[in-house]
Amino acid sequence: MGTLQGELMYLNNLVVNTTYPGVQQAGTSRSSMSLPRPKSSGLLGSEGSCYESLCEQQPIGRRLFRQFLLDSNSQYAAAAKLLEDFDYWQHMEDEAKEKAKMRVLAKFCQPESRTFLFSHAGDAAEKYASLSISNFDEAAMEHVREATRTFLKGGPFSEYLKSPFFYRFLQWKEYEKQKITRKYFYEFRTLGRGGFGEVCAVQVKHTGQMYACKKLDKRRLKTKGGERLALIEKQILEKANSRFVINLAYAYEDRTHLCLVMDLMSGGDLKFHIYDLGKRGIRMERVVYYVAQITSGILHLHSMDIVYRDMKPENVLLDAKGQCRLSDFGLAVELPKGKKICQKVTANDPPQEEEEEVVGGEEEEVGGGEGEIGGEEEIVGGEEEQRRRRDQTHPWPSVGVQYLAQWYPSSALKAGTTGYMAPEILRQENYGMSVDWWSVGCSIYEMVAARLPFKDFKEKVQNEEVTRRTLEDDCKFQHSDFDAPVKDLISHFLKKKGINFHRLEAGLTEPPWVPKPNVIYAKDVDAFRTASEVEDVKLDSKDERFFKEFSTGAVPVRWQKEMIESGTFDLLNSSELNASCQEWRGEERRGEERRGEERRGEGRRGEEEERRGEERRGEERRGEERRGRRRGEEDEGERRERRGEERGEERRGEERKMKGEEKRGEERREERKMKGRGESEERKGRERRDGRGEERRGVERRGW
C-alpha cells in the first residue's frame, strides 16, 4: 500500500511539474475578445478629469493619449516625442546618454528645427531657450519636462477628452469592470501552502497571462482572526505600483476562499536560492543586483509612508526574467509622515525552541500569518507628542495585548521575524522606517554567508537568546566570503556609478542570473503540508460584507499592463480603432440626436406641465369657491341654529318664569289656606275657652 501511494504521489508530481512549465512557455492561448460599448460617458465623472490618472498612471490611457498626440498637429506630436526622448536619455549610459542629449537639443531646442518647442511653450519658453550643452543635466531637463506636461494638461488634454481615442479608453474601462470569478482562470499546480490557505499557478483564459493565486480560506481566516492582515496586504498590494513589489492584478471571492491574483514569480524565493540551489549562499554579483532592487522596492513603500517590517530573503521572490520583488505585506503598517510607532508588549512569552527545517531552519515569524499578531501599536510624534501622551491615562491599558496573548500564547507580540527584527522593535522603543534597513542588512549577510548574523545555519536556539545576541553582541564577519566581497558590496552602494537606478526601474538592466524556463524553483506538491479542515465555523452577514469589500475585481493599472504585455491591446486597438472611430462618431450623432430629442421632450413636457399646472390652479380656484360657498352655508346654518337656540332659550325662560309665578301663587294660596285654618282654629279655641269660662261661672253661681 505504501509503495502504491508513493508511486501515485510521484506520478502526480510528474504530471503537474510537466504541465506547468509548458503552460508558462506557451502562455499565448486567448479566448476571443471584443470591447463593449461604454454604457455612458458618465464614466468620465467616476474616473475624474485628472490628467495624471488618465494620461500617465494608467498604461492604456497613456498609450492612447500618446497616439492622440502623434495623430494631431506637429506641436502636440513634438511634445510627446520630447517626453519619450527625455526618458530615453535618462535610461542611457555613457556614450549613448551623450548622443541622446545631443538629439534632444537638436530636435527641440533649435529654432530651425521643425519640432522647435518655443512656439507653444508659453510661459515655459525661457526654460527651453536656456537649455544647452553646458547646463543639460537632470535638474534642467526636469524643468523642461514639467513645462511640457503643463502644456499638455491644457488644450491637448481637453481635446483628447472629446476625441475617439478617449472613447476607446472608455471602452477599455468598461471591459475592465467585468465581474471576476474563478471561471476567468485556468488553475494549475500548487506552489506553496501557508496558515490561511495555498498559492497556486493560474492562467487568464482571455489573454494567456500567467499569475499566482493566493487562496485564503474564509473559515480559517475567521478562526485565526486573520481578516485584518489579509485586508492590509490586499490594500498595500493594490496601492503599490512598482516593478520591485509584487503587483495585485485581481481580487475576488468564491464560495470558500478569498483570492488574491498576483504576479507569478516562477524563479522561487531568495531563501530557496541561498540554501537549496547548489552551494549555499549567493554570488556577490547577484547579491549586489538583488540588493539594489530590494532597496528600490523598500524606497517605494517608504514613499507611500509604509513600513514593511518583514524584510527577509523568504519574502523576496524572483520572476522568470531574474528580477526580484518584495512580497507578503501582512505585517506592513502605514505611518503618517513624521510619526513613529511603538509596540508595548505586556504578555510574557514562554521560551520557544525553533523547529528544525530541511532548509536552513525555520525562523519564527510573529505579528502576522498563522499565530501572528502585531501587538499593541501606538503611533507617536516628537517630544511634545510623547509628553502629551505620558500625561494622559490610556483608557484601555494593555487590554488588547493581554486578550491576544490568551489566543496566541506562543507568539512574541512584536511585528517581524526572529533574527531580522531591529533592536528598536526588540526594546519596544519608538521606531520608524529605519527598521526595514536593519532587516536588509541581515538579509545581505544571509545571502553572502548562508546564515543569519546572530543565528547559525540550523542552529537550535531559543528566541530569547537570538534577541539577546541582537541587542548585546557585535556582528562577526567570520565567513570566508566576508573579506573582499563585503567591502566590494559596500563600495557598490557608495559609488555613484555602480547601479543606474533609472535603468533599473525601467527594467533595462540585465540581471546576473535568469531562471531556466523548464525548471520549477519550488518544492514538490507532496512536500507541502495539507492544512487541517476547519469545522463548525459559521459565517455571518458581517463576514459576507467583509468578503464583498475584499472582492474588488481587476486592479486597473496591473490589468491594463496585462492587456498591453499580452498583445491584446495592440490586437484589438489596431483591428478595431477605425470601427471605434466610426462608432464614436455614430455615438456622437446619436448623442446629439438624443440630446435634441431630450430638449424637445423637455419642451413638450414643460408645456404639458404648464397646461396641467393651469388646470390644477383652475381646479384649485373652483374648489376654493366651492369650499367658500360651503363655508358660507355652514356659517348661515350655524347662525340660524344659534338664533333658534336663542329663541328656544327665551321660550324656556318664559316657561320657567310662568312656572315660577304659578308656584309662587300656589304657595300664596297655600299660605292663605294655612292662615285661614289657623284663624279658624284660634276662633274655635277662643270659643271653647269662652264656653269653659261660662261653665265655670255657671258652676260658681250654682254653688253660691
pLDDT in tens, 305-338: 999 999 999 999 998 889 999 998 888 888 877 6
Q: What is the mean pLDDT of residues 108-119?
A: 56
Active site residues: 310
> Is residue 442 a contact partner of residue 419, using CB atoms and an 8 Å limit?
yes
Q: Is the pLDDT of residue 571 over 60?
A: yes
Asked if 269 contacts 314 with a C-beta cutoff of 8 angstroms, the reply is: yes
The secondary structure element, H or E, covering residue 342 is strand 340-344
What is the distance in angstroms between the CA of the first residue and the CA of the last residue of the chain?
A: 175
pLDDT at 593: 73
Q: How far apart are CA 555 and CA 256, in angstroms?
A: 22
**Which grid coordinates belong to 148?**
511640457
For the segment 443-448, the average pLDDT, to the nearest whole number, is 89
pLDDT at site 5: 45
Q: Cβ distance 174 to 165 under 8 Å?
A: no
Determine the 3-state secondary structure of 226 from DSSP: coil
> Residue 105 above 80 pLDDT?
no
Q: What is the pTM of this model?
A: 0.63
The per-type count for the chain, helices as H runs and strands as E runs, is: 25, 14
The pLDDT of 27-55, averaged and rounded, is 64
Please state the rounded mean pLDDT for residues 148-170: 90
Q: What does each C-alpha distance from 179 to 37, 184, 259 come to in angstroms?
A: 16, 9, 14
> Which pLDDT belongs to residue 261?
95
Of 183-197, 200-214, 523-537, which one has max mean pLDDT?
200-214
Q: What confidence score (pLDDT) does residue 205 get? A: 92
C-alpha cell at 181: 470569478
Mean pLDDT on 435-443: 87
Phi, psi dihedrals of residue 377, rounded to the nearest 5°: -100, 135
Q: Ramachandran region of residue 260, left (φ > 0), alpha (ψ -120 to 50) or beta? A: beta
Question: Whole-angstrom Cα distance, residue 183 to residue 160?
Answer: 36
Name the residue with higher pLDDT: 114 or 326. 326
Q: What is the pLDDT of residue 10?
A: 43
Q: Which residue has the higher pLDDT, 617 or 364?
A: 617
- % of the chain surpassing 70 pLDDT: 67
* Phi-psi label, residue 122: left if phi above 0, alpha if psi -120 to 50, beta otherwise: left
pLDDT band at 491 (very low <50, low <70, confident <90, very high): very low
Distance CA 286, CA 289 (A): 5
High-pLDDT (> 90) share of the chain, %: 15
User: What's the confidence (pLDDT) of residue 288?
Assistant: 84
> Which amino acid type is present at position 125?
A
The amino acid sitting at 398 is S
The angle at the Cα of 330, spanning 450 to 379, to the nearest 5 degrees, equals: 105
Residue type, 669: R
Q: Please tell me the distance from the alpha carbon of residue 412 to that of residue 466, in angstroms, as a whole number.
A: 13
Does 349 have pLDDT greater than 60?
Answer: no
pLDDT at position 603: 81
Query: What gap in Å lies between CA 510 and CA 321, rounded to an integer?
Result: 9
Dihedral sign from CA coordinates of 300, 305, 306, 307: positive
* Region of 30 on the Ramachandran plot (φ > 0 left; ψ -120 to 50 alpha; else beta): beta
* pLDDT of the residue at 553: 86
Reported as type and span, the H/E element at residue 576 is helix 568-703
Which amino acid, one-letter code, is at 88? Y
pLDDT in tens, 592-602: 777 778 888 88
> In degrees rounded to 5, what are phi and psi of residue 422?
-70, 155
Say how many C-beta atoms besides its own lie within 10 A of residue 5's C-beta: 10
Q: Is 177 known to sit in a ligand binding site?
A: no
- Report d(CA 659, CA 661) in Å as an integer: 5
| CB atoms near residue 244 (< 10 Å) | 22
How large is the greatest C-alpha to C-alpha distance in the chain, in angstroms? 195
* Of 224-228, 404-408, 661-665, 692-696, minimum mean pLDDT range: 404-408
Mean pLDDT over 475-491 rounds to 62
Band of the pLDDT at 514, cuts 50, 70, 90? low
Cell of 347: 504578555
Among positive and negative, which fits the CA dihedral 609, 614, 619, 625? positive
Enter the C-alpha cell of residue 663.
308656584
Average pLDDT over residues 639-647: 88
Dihedral (C-alpha) 419, 422, 427, 429: value to the nearest 10 degrees? -150
Whether the pLDDT of residue 410 is over 50: the answer is no
Res 513 pLDDT > 80: no
